[in-house]
Amino acid sequence: MSGSRRLSSLDGLRGAAALIVVVHHCFLVSPAFAAAYYGGSTGDSPLRQALIYSPLHLLWGGAEAVVVFFVLSGFVLARGIRSSSFDWFAYFPSRILRLYVPVAGAVALGFLLLLVPHAGGPDSPWLQRDASDYDLGGVLQDLTLVGGTSGVVSPLWSLRWEVIFSLLLPVIAYAARVIPAWLFGVICVALSAIGAGQESAAMQYLPIFGVGVALEREWERIERLVGGLSRTVRGVLWGGMLPLAVVLLSMRWLLPATLDHSTLVALAQGPIVLGAGLLVVMAALCAPLTRFFSWRPIAWLGAISFSLYLVHEPFVVVMASVTGAARWTLLTAVPLALVTAWLFCRLVERPAHRLSRTVRERARAKRTVVVEEAPATTAGRERELTQV
């Protein structure tokens, strides 16, 4: 498979994960599902129990989908470093614009939509937010991200770690070169699990990006290994890896519910990160999954995935107030979010891409001029010294 085909399938994986996050927030409108998510009682409904405490949870597993986002981001950024045209001097300004321009648009949209009265919806703890508290301080916090977020537009919490990882990419990429990639990946998984147990957000989330970097460093070896297998062996391999990835990603909901919350999170974090890594590998190399994630509707989701992730939540909150039930919120908020994400992608995200590319090209050109002028200046000084 060509590199473009692989990247196309990974875009589709990102799109599917973004849709799962939207569904996740629609489920949290339900008091019972929200209670389960926050560690409370869920009731006795067999269907609800299956949707919470089985691999079916992945249908609305927003937290697990974000882990997939982080692994994908680390993989794709590390892949970009290998490009012959990559330049650190151009990377930083273009990357910052690529992230912050859509974030600014999402903050503005969220602020306006959450001003719509939304009292009277289901009594879910996830819905207990008040946009009147979204003051200038909260807006500035969300626009800068690095120091934390206000929580009013909750998806922005993950963008904080995306920005920090993007700034730390040179350090992480260097570490992945010095340390054997497989060992670097193991260390990242272990650090993430320790961070989850210690309730250290930085230690829990940043190493997840490192797993993506480690995968990219080992990618050629992984491709050769898979390519050297017979079709039958590959079928057996993928047939075993897919359910394994599903189980690992579901681990938070398969462990005994009698364990306290911190223990559950700590024990599940490592398997979840491993499951996300396996899913990324399979999305790129397993032919049936590659075709699925390259399928046009999924590819379309991939094209708008960042916009969908940023703008969907206010629609879920507003429609929960209007409809008063989780199932109707799901049926109304998802189409509204998809249409708005498409518009947002065209009007905000794509212009941000173009601006980012323009800044990158100009920075790269400026860098080239500086590099070319430096030897000429040095040669001039040497001639002056010779004349003296």
Per-residue pLDDT of the chain in tens (388 residues, 90 and over written 9): 334 444 789 999 999 999 999 999 999 998 889 888 887 666 678 888 899 999 999 999 999 999 999 999 999 999 999 887 888 989 999 999 999 999 999 999 888 876 766 666 778 888 876 555 677 888 899 999 998 888 888 899 999 999 999 999 999 999 999 999 999 999 999 999 999 999 999 999 999 999 999 999 999 999 999 999 999 999 999 999 999 999 999 999 999 877 887 788 889 999 999 999 999 999 999 999 999 999 999 999 999 999 999 999 988 988 888 887 888 999 999 999 999 999 999 999 999 999 999 998 888 777 666 555 555 555 555 555 445 4
Contact 177, 166 (CB under 8 A): no
H/E stretch holding 130 reads none
Q: What is the Cα–Cα distance from 99 to 76, expressed in whole angstroms?
A: 15
pLDDT at 290: 94
CB 159 within 8 A of CB 99: yes
Q: Per-residue b/e over 318-337, b at no fewer than 16 CB within 10 Å?
A: bbbbebeebeebbebbbebb
Phi, psi of 228, rounded to the nearest 5 degrees:
-85, -5
For position 381, what pLDDT does the model report?
A: 53
- Rounded Cα distance between 7 and 290, Å, is 10
Q: 3-class DSSP state for residue 180?
A: coil
pLDDT at 375: 57
For 42, which DSSP code? -
Instruction: Name the residue range of residue 210's domain.
Output: 3-387
Residue 40's pLDDT is: 66
Q: What is the DSSP letter of 133?
A: G
CA distances from 92 to 79, 98, 137, 360 (A): 16, 10, 26, 9
Q: What tokens were used for 167?
A: 């700034």
* CB-CB contact of 270 with 191 (8 Å): no
Q: Position of tokens 């999924």? A: 298
Residues 189-222, buried b or exposed e (16+ Cβ, 10 A)? bebbbbbbbeeeeebbbbbbbbbbbbbbbbbeee
Q: Indicate the number of domains in the chain.
A: 1
**Cα(219)–Cα(224) distance, integer angstroms:** 9
Alpha helices in 255-349 (DSSP H): 261-285, 287-294, 296-303, 305-323, 326-344
Q: Please state the φ and ψ torsions of residue 198, each to the nearest 5 degrees.
A: -90, 0
